[in-house]
Amino acid sequence: MLLNYLSWQEKREVDGYFFIAPEFGYQSDTARPDQIPFAAVQVWKFVLSAMTKEMLMGHSEAVRFHYPKWAIEQDPLLLKAITVKLSLALTPSAPKKQFARMDRPYAMLVGSENELFDIEKFPAYHELPNESIQQQSVYQVLDGHTHLSILLEVGKQIGRTIQVWNHSI
């Protein structure tokens, strides 16, 4: 969703962006070939929504996430499914082009044991923005972390990155 926000003309000015175990969408070429399906997608709902110019199925649950039991127990308010419209809002239309237009520093934080993404493909994204943005930005692999476990550790890295961006903190 953040990549789509970056492309929005009415976005607010910010000091930087954080991409934590980012899902850049099916067009990003970042999925692991051996990934365990993290979600079940009802494609027919997307097709029907598109065929009816979003008159049907737009607010219908279309993507259900397969969280492990421990994650749901730890956070019972975890979003377990999303609608067609939310899924479309979350999915970048042209992730590489959108990332190349990055206009602020960013931190991209991924876990070394991410089950969904090939983390070797993320450095290519880090090289897309202009050199000035690249130099101010952070790409970091957190050793031993999975797609979900990184969320438990990432706060420290966010704090350090903010300190780098704003030396007065």
- Out of 35-44, 97-106, 128-137, pick the least confident: 35-44
One-letter amino acid at 166 equals N
Considering the chain, what is the average pLDDT of its residues? 89
The burial class, CB within 10 Å (0-12 / 13-18 / 19+), for 99 is: buried
Instruction: Provide the pLDDT confidence category of residue 14 given band limits of 50, 70 and 90.
Output: confident
Residue 109 pLDDT exceeds 80 = yes
Over residues 92-119, mean pLDDT: 92
Over residues 138-144, mean pLDDT: 92
- 3-state class of 28 per DSSP? coil
